Chain A
Amino acid sequence: MTEASPAKPYALHLGVIALLFALSFVLPDYHHGLLARIMVLAVFAMGYNMLFGYVGLLSLGHAMFFSAGLYGAGLTVYHLGWNVPAAFAAGLACGALLALVIGLLALRTTGVAFMIVTMMFAQVFYLVILYFASWTGGDQGLVVQQAARVLVLGSGSLDLTNPTVRYMSALALFSIVLLVTLAIVRSRYGRVLVAIRENEERTKMLGYDTFSNKLIAVVVSGTICAASGAAYALLFGYVGSSFASVQYSILPLLWVLLGGAATTLGPLIGTLFMYYVIDITSGFTSAYLLIVGIALILLVLFFPKGILGSIRQRWLGWLP
């Protein structure tokens, strides 16, 4: 972040996007579908990383932002018959609004209190979903029908249930969020966020209103997570309350820690790694969680800053 030549990081990120694009044509069906899902969930992790990695705020309630997008998009399609772009926008709006309200309340606390407050709000959100089961489908969830998941573009139309269209849509969302994240963390605003993480008191004494800056970060983070949720509803057609459970608040934290907090590509690497470790080990044994646990312990021992974080520290200092 020393305003060095921006060419290298941008080349790297465009390279990653190009690689993911190329993979679409060579991957077998199973991995093709899995990677599409991973890209959507990596967006969730990137949204989480925005707040946790760069601002240093550890939230245990980000499942609510993901599911705000999920239900915002899912319910408008299911009950109101909205088209895909409108439903996606509804998901984003729900996430942004929720993040604004939660941010205003939760940012009055810091540290452990912030973790607990965000977790409690997420739990409330989860219970609200279960309470209004007649609309949300409760713990059964809702399945968005194939007919509703068609993106009409002028005279043509794109069927989001088609594997290639789904993969490319996931890739498009992933790419946009990745480049937006990169631009934010390299901007002046990104520098202020890191300063708040490092020493909030000092940042105030440099003339920064840290509360407003943190609030903006919560809204950006919540909106990105909602984008992931909305895309999930529209691309995979399932809207369920399990996505609002505490497990889905902890998963993005895990993905980010694995990949490297405060690295732009870390969330993708972490999500990819977790999915494939589970995928591969569960093929061999039913005790796969044991192996996953051991893998995580080894990672923490040898890559304490996450995969990309440690690589940056040891070899590639220019990584954003």
Chain B
Amino acid sequence: MMPLLTTKGLSRSFGGLRAVDGVDFALMPGEIRAVIGPNGAGKTTFVSLVSGRIQPSSGMIVFDGADITNLPAYARVRLGVAYTFQITSVFANLSAYDNVALPVQRTLTDGRSKGAVRTGVMAALERTGLAARAHMPAGQLSYGHQRLLEVAMGLALKPRLLILDEPTQGLADSEIDNFIQLVREIAKSATVLLIEHNMPVVMQLADRITVFNAGRILAEGTPEAIRANAEVQQAYLGTTP
């Protein structure tokens, strides 16, 4: 099977800091892949390169067989690469409905979905349990609901690859359980790339885990293999236990 996403020698420097340093990465269609690593390991920079929010210093990105390295972010979104923000970034002054209507009407214009805006919006809101709050300004939703709205917007883009950047950050434990269910459901129709600090969530969801450290891939494997990996333990704890 051909990978959905491949990067070759992907690098990005900020001044003297090599935030992402020659990363070769491959992601199979349909998998849930977690990206973990200590703070400053380059995880967010890496997914920002994939989504096109920042440009690489060198290297190449291939999505579904096509080189997308030089495509602007909006064009990658139209190809099916959706990114949900680490720091909640909904349109606070617009209603939840309008927030989701933006991605829905985008996919309608591109012909990636059919039907009316309203149907698409309500479907995405119902999947995330926000339908009853459709007309509230997004800024007045609770933090957990704003995170869900962020996911609803990602879903409404009909992505083939959904990048979730620390989606459970700031959620209560009860909300996290629902969230895990939601991601499992999303994974039925899309490939999921998940940056996550919450290890129980990672262990429950991920098919495979990629560990970043200092801008490079330190290890990659199944949750069990990563748990047992001595190098990973060292990166996280600083010493070999």
In the complex the two chains form, is B101's CB within 8 Å of A207's CB?
no
Write out the residue numbers on chain A whose beta carbons fall within 8 Å of the beta carbon of B83.
205
Q: How many residues of B contact A (CB 8 A)?
A: 34
Write out the residue numbers on chain A whose beta carbons fall within 8 Å of the beta carbon of B77.
204-207
In the complex the two chains form, is A191's CB within 8 Å of B98's CB?
yes
Residue of B nearest to A317 (CB): B135
Known: A202-B85, A202-B91, A205-B83. A2 touches B73 (CB 8 A): no
B89-120 near A? 1/0 per residue, CB < 8 Å = 11111110110011101110110000001100
B62-92 near A? 1/0 per residue, CB < 8 Å = 0000000000111101100011010001111
Neighbour of B51 across the interface among A202, A203, A205, A210, CB < 8 A:
A205
Known: A188-B117, A191-B101. A2 touches B106 (CB 8 A): no
Q: A191-B98, A206-B77 are in contact. List 7 more A-B contacts (CB 8 A).
A: A194-B94, A201-B89, A202-B85, A202-B89, A205-B82, A207-B157, A208-B74
Residue of A nearest to B79 (CB): A207
Partner-A contacts on B (CB < 8 A): 51, 53, 72-75, 77-78, 82-83, 85, 89-95, 97-98, 101-103, 105-107, 109-110, 117-118, 134-135, 153, 157
In the complex the two chains form, is B106's CB within 8 Å of A208's CB?
yes
Neighbour of B118 across the interface among A3, A199, A204, CB < 8 A:
A3
Does residue A192 face the partner (Cβ distance < 8 Å to B)? yes
Which among B90, B95, B105, B134 has the greatest number of chain A C-beta atoms within 10 A?
Answer: B105
Q: How many residues of A contact B (CB 8 A)?
A: 20
Write out the residue numbers on chain A whose beta carbons fall within 8 Å of the beta carbon of B53.
201, 205
In the complex the two chains form, is B118's CB within 8 Å of A203's CB?
no
User: How far is it, in angstroms, between the C-alpha of A201 and the C-alpha of B51 when the chains are bound?
Assistant: 12
Write out the residue numbers on chain A whose beta carbons fall within 8 Å of the beta carbon of B97.
2-3
Known: A2-B135, A188-B105. A209 touches B74 (CB 8 A): yes
In the complex the two chains form, is B110's CB within 8 Å of A1's CB?
no
Do most interface residues of chain A lie in helix, strand or loop, or is the interface mixed? helix
Chain A to chain B contacts (Cβ below 8 Å), 17 pairs: A1-B94, A1-B95, A3-B118, A188-B101, A188-B117, A198-B93, A199-B91, A201-B53, A202-B85, A204-B72, A204-B74, A205-B74, A206-B77, A206-B103, A206-B157, A208-B74, A209-B74
Write out the residue numbers on chain B whose beta carbons fall within 8 Å of the beta carbon of A274.
none
A50-82 near B? 1/0 per residue, CB < 8 Å = 000000000000000000000000000000000
Partner-B contacts on A (CB < 8 A): 1-3, 188, 191-192, 194-195, 198-199, 201-210
Write out the residue numbers on chain B whose beta carbons fall within 8 Å of the beta carbon of A201.
53, 89
What is the CB-to-nearest-CB distance from B84 to chain A, in angstroms, rounded to a whole number? 9
Write out the residue numbers on chain A whose beta carbons fall within 8 Å of the beta carbon of B109.
188
Residue of B nearest to A187 (CB): B105
User: How far is it, in angstroms, between the C-alpha of A181 and the C-alpha of B222 when the chains are bound?
Assistant: 56
What is the CB-to-nearest-CB distance from A63 to chain B, in angstroms, rounded to a whole number? 30
Write out the residue numbers on chain A whose beta carbons fall within 8 Å of the beta carbon of B118.
3
Write out the residue numbers on chain A whose beta carbons fall within 8 Å of the beta carbon of B85.
202, 205
In the complex the two chains form, is A210's CB within 8 Å of B92's CB?
no
Write out the residue numbers on chain B whose beta carbons fall within 8 Å of the beta carbon of A195.
91, 94, 102
In the complex the two chains form, is B106's CB within 8 Å of A207's CB?
yes
Neighbour of A207 across the interface among B78, B94, B95, B117, CB < 8 A:
B78
User: How far is it, in angstroms, between the C-alpha of A198 and the C-alpha of B92 when the chains are bound?
Assistant: 8
User: How far is it, in angstroms, between the C-alpha of A206 and the C-alpha of B91 when the chains are bound?
Assistant: 12
What is the CB-to-nearest-CB distance from A187 to chain B, in angstroms, rounded to a whole number? 10
User: How far is it, in angstroms, between the C-alpha of A192 and the C-alpha of B91 when the chains are bound?
Assistant: 11
What is the CB-to-nearest-CB distance from A65 to chain B, in angstroms, rounded to a whole number? 28
User: How far is it, in angstroms, between the C-alpha of A276 and the C-alpha of B157 when the chains are bound?
Assistant: 49
Neighbour of B102 across the interface among A3, A191, A209, CB < 8 A:
A191
In the complex the two chains form, is A2's CB within 8 Å of B74's CB?
no
User: How far is it, in angstroms, between the C-alpha of A208 and the C-alpha of B106 when the chains are bound?
Assistant: 8
